[in-house]
Structure 1
Amino acid sequence: MSQFNIHSIQSAPAGAQALLQGSLKKYGFIPNLHGGLAEAPVALEAYIELTALFDRSSLSPTERQVVLLAVSAENHCTYCVAAHSTIAKHMVKADPAVVDAIRNLQPLPDPKLDALANFTRNVVKNRGVVRGQAFDKFISAGYSRAQVLEVVLGVTFKTLSNYSNHLIDTPLDSAFQAEAWEVPGQCASNRCASRDEPG
């Protein structure tokens, strides 16, 4: 059982109430992730600000979703994989085959996006120590050294939500339910003992 509340605007600490108002205005509802992060207003503010900064990167909307999905799948975050699958397919209009490949831990049908997803996974798995062939493949696919650091920004921002969701045990919003996800080869519950979750 979670030790955290999913806050509404009314129940949230004072420092988070205006931030949740902004979430409601932007999305039409308050994502449970935001309601959970509201327990620590500074964490919610950081998440919102990092989201805005990553959106200003030179990566395209589809590329940004590839990064966020790859991080979330690598971190076994069922909440964020579902959320970003929804955003990628229905808001960004990314190729569903690209999204499904990341969800299924398979090679992406687009070679450049596959290089992006693989580099992102390597950053997560190797704690940023990505050199040699793994680094060179990313650059040779057409990405810049600036985009190496933009991927790190995406990993940073998504790790905040992935880890928070694991700890909060964030319930999946109905808006993301159609894209509910489980780690391939693991149990069907987002309450696995190995803890896949959120974010």
Structure 2
Amino acid sequence: MTDFNVHTIQSAPDASRPQLEQSQKAYGYVPNLHGVMAESPALLEAYRTVATIFDTKTELSATERQIIAMTNNRLNGCTYCMAAHTSIMQAANVSEDVITALRDGTSIADPKLEALRVFAEQVNTKRGWVAEDDIEALLAAGYTKQTVFEVIVGTAYKVLSNYTNHIGQTPLDEGFAKNEWNAEPQRAN
């Protein structure tokens, strides 16, 4: 098995160092995911850019963004991101029943949020080939056509991190350990 480094600011390629310095400033440490991504300055920059766009330029609430992220994390079997985003949701005071539903892949009690979860699941499992009924159900719940495409932004964001974690076997950061999550990944044949 190929071993990938979890880079520090000092060990990272020169082009990744400014990105890792920004991570250090933002979080107080360099998350292991960013350290692994630093092997490819393009990947690290792409991830940080898409994450920022998803967090700041969509019309989705923090809870809605986490629903999209966690749905993808679970479906992609990403143990690192499931633990990390559970911690993020707890810090943002997302309802514990929503967190549990997302970790377990069960229905969310709030019908609007459940419609978003189901649509995010359809986008992931159908690789974007969603049915008209899938879109109509999301719109009927009170979302917009813009939301349809913002789910794609969130899905792309999670592909970058989930796939990196699978290939790089990113070790879980200590701060996320209390929210460790294990499930059999749904690997493609």
Q: Give the length in aligned residue pairs.
A: 186
The residue type equivalent to 1:35 in the other structure is: G
Q: Which residue of 2 aligns with 1:113?
A: 113
Scaled by the length of structure 2, the TM-score of the pair is: 0.95
Backbone CA RMSD of aligned residues: 1.3
Question: How many Å apart are 1:2 and its aligned residue?
Answer: 4.7
Q: Which residue of 1 aligns with 2:102?
A: 102
Scaled by the length of structure 1, the TM-score of the pair is: 0.90
What is the distance in 2 between the residues matched to 1:2 and 1:71?
25
Identity rate of aligned residues, in percent? 42
What is the distance in 2 between the residues matched to 1:39 and 1:150?
28
Matches within 5 A, 1:139-178: 139-178=139-178
Q: Which residue of 1 aligns with 2:45?
A: 45
CA contact (8 A) 1:2 1:169 kept: no
What is the distance in 2 between the residues matched to 1:22 and 1:35?
12
What is the distance in 1 between the residues matched to 2:31 and 2:155?
20
**Does 2:105 align with 1:132?**
no
What is the distance in 2 between the residues matched to 1:70 and 1:168?
21
What is the distance in 2 between the residues matched to 1:129 and 1:38?
32
Q: Which residue of 2 aligns with 1:83?
A: 84
> Mean alpha-carbon deviation: is it higher for 66-75 or for 126-135?
126-135
What is the distance in 2 between the residues matched to 1:110 and 1:181?
24
Q: Which residue of 1 aligns with 2:75?
A: 74
What is the distance in 2 between the residues matched to 1:137 and 1:73?
22
**1:81-138 deviation per Cα after TM superposition (whole angstroms, max 9, x unaligned):** 1101100111x21111101101011111211111111100110100101123222111
Runs of 5+ consecutive residues of structure 2 not aligned to the other structure: none
**1:20-40 deviation per Cα after TM superposition (whole angstroms, max 9, x unaligned):** 010011011111000000000
Runs of 5+ consecutive residues of structure 1 not aligned to the other structure: 187-191
CA contact (8 A) 1:86 1:179 kept: yes
Matches within 5 A, 1:178-193: 178-183=178-183, 186=184
